[in-house]
């Protein structure tokens, strides 16, 4: 891919998932608001275009072996990957983070009252994500898995008339979850551990950082790869 100032951030990450690490480092949204030109986000974040281009052509974005070419995967393969990796990650990480955020709020809350709010906000985020994932797994994803083989027929396993409405709702919920996670980051002062922070404090903030990173990659893969692909296939089937 030839990257210019006019290349959308989401397209860069869709082509090379390792580029996500570069955008994370510069605080650039590549998931919910990734459909923006690289030049625009570089000016918005106050990052020199040359520095971004250098980072995208070297380091994390270029290191290592082959990367998954998600844009070439079938809908069933994409859906299974998302459920088995990102949905599974959320369900593994959530109980641990609920325990750790509550513990920090109880032990360190008197000196750091923001921890009480972080625990409360993560509880809301966890509940929202679980309901969101269930809706995808029970309704939208089964419909999508049949789309590729539909050959002009509407998938019979779902009552959906079209994927458009549910996708719009899922994207709205992605935006909400991203905002909730951003609020936690703000409360945690970018996950900076204070001098009196214990080992659990450090572990919890690193876990929150990892959770946010996975959420960004999760949302990007759905918003910018899976959903557009499903709508394209659906449109082609019934054109």
Tokens of 173: 């919920």
In 3D space, the residue among 23, 24, 25 whose CA is nearest the CA of residue 38 turns out to be: 23
Strand, coil or helix: what is 129? helix
Strand, coil or helix: what is 115? helix
Pairwise CA distance, residues 44 & 42, whole Å: 5
Pairwise CA distance, residues 178 & 42, whole Å: 20
**Alpha helices for 82-163 (secondary structure H):** 88-108, 114-135, 141-147
Q: What is the pLDDT along the chain (239 residues), one digit of tens a residue?
A: 788 899 999 999 988 888 888 898 888 988 888 889 999 999 998 999 988 888 888 755 555 556 778 999 999 999 999 999 999 999 999 999 999 999 999 999 999 999 999 999 999 999 999 999 999 999 999 999 888 776 556 665 556 778 899 999 999 999 999 999 999 999 999 999 999 999 999 999 999 999 999 999 999 999 999 999 999 888 875 44
User: What is the pLDDT at residue 238?
Assistant: 44
User: What is the pLDDT at residue 153?
Assistant: 61
Strand, coil or helix: what is 50? helix
Query: What Rg value do the Cα atoms of the chain yield, rounded?
Result: 19
Tokens of 185: 């980051």
- Hunting for tokens 């709508």 — which residue is that? 231
Tokens of 222: 């759905």
In this structure, what DSSP letter does residue 224 have?
A: I
pTM summary value: 0.86
- Hunting for tokens 């995808």 — which residue is that? 136
Contact 80, 148 (CB under 8 A): no
**CA 204 remoteness from chain centre:** 19
Pairwise CA distance, residues 112 & 81, whole Å: 39
């Amino acid at each position: 891919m030839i990257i210019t100032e006019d290349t959308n951030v989401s397209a860069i990450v869709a082509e090379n998932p390792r580029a996500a690490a570069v955008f994370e480092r510069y605080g650039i949204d590549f998931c919910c608001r990734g459909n923006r030109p690289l030049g625009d986000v570089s000016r918005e974040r106050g990052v020199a275009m040359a520095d971004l281009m250098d980072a995208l052509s070297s380091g994390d974005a270029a290191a290592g072996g082959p990367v998954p070419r998600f844009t070439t995967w079938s809908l069933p393969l994409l859906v299974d990957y998302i459920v088995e990796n990102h949905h599974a990650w959320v369900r593994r990480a959530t109980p641990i983070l609920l325990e750790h955020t509550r513990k920090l709020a109880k032990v360190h809350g008197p000196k750091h009252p923001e921890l009480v709010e972080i625990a409360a906000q993560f509880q809301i985020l966890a509940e929202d994500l679980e309901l969101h994932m269930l809706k995808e797994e029970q309704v939208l994803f089964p419909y999508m898995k049949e789309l590729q083989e539909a050959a002009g027929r509407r998938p019979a396993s779902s009552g959906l008339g079209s994927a458009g409405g549910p996708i719009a709702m899922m994207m709205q919920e992605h935006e909400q979850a991203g905002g909730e996670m951003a609020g936690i980051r703000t409360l945690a002062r970018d996950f900076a551990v204070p001098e009196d922070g214990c080992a659990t404090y450090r572990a919890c903030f690193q876990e929150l950082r990892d959770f946010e990173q996975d959420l960004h990659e999760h949302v990007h893969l759905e918003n910018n790869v899976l959903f557009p692909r499903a709508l394209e296939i659906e449109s082609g089937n019934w054109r």
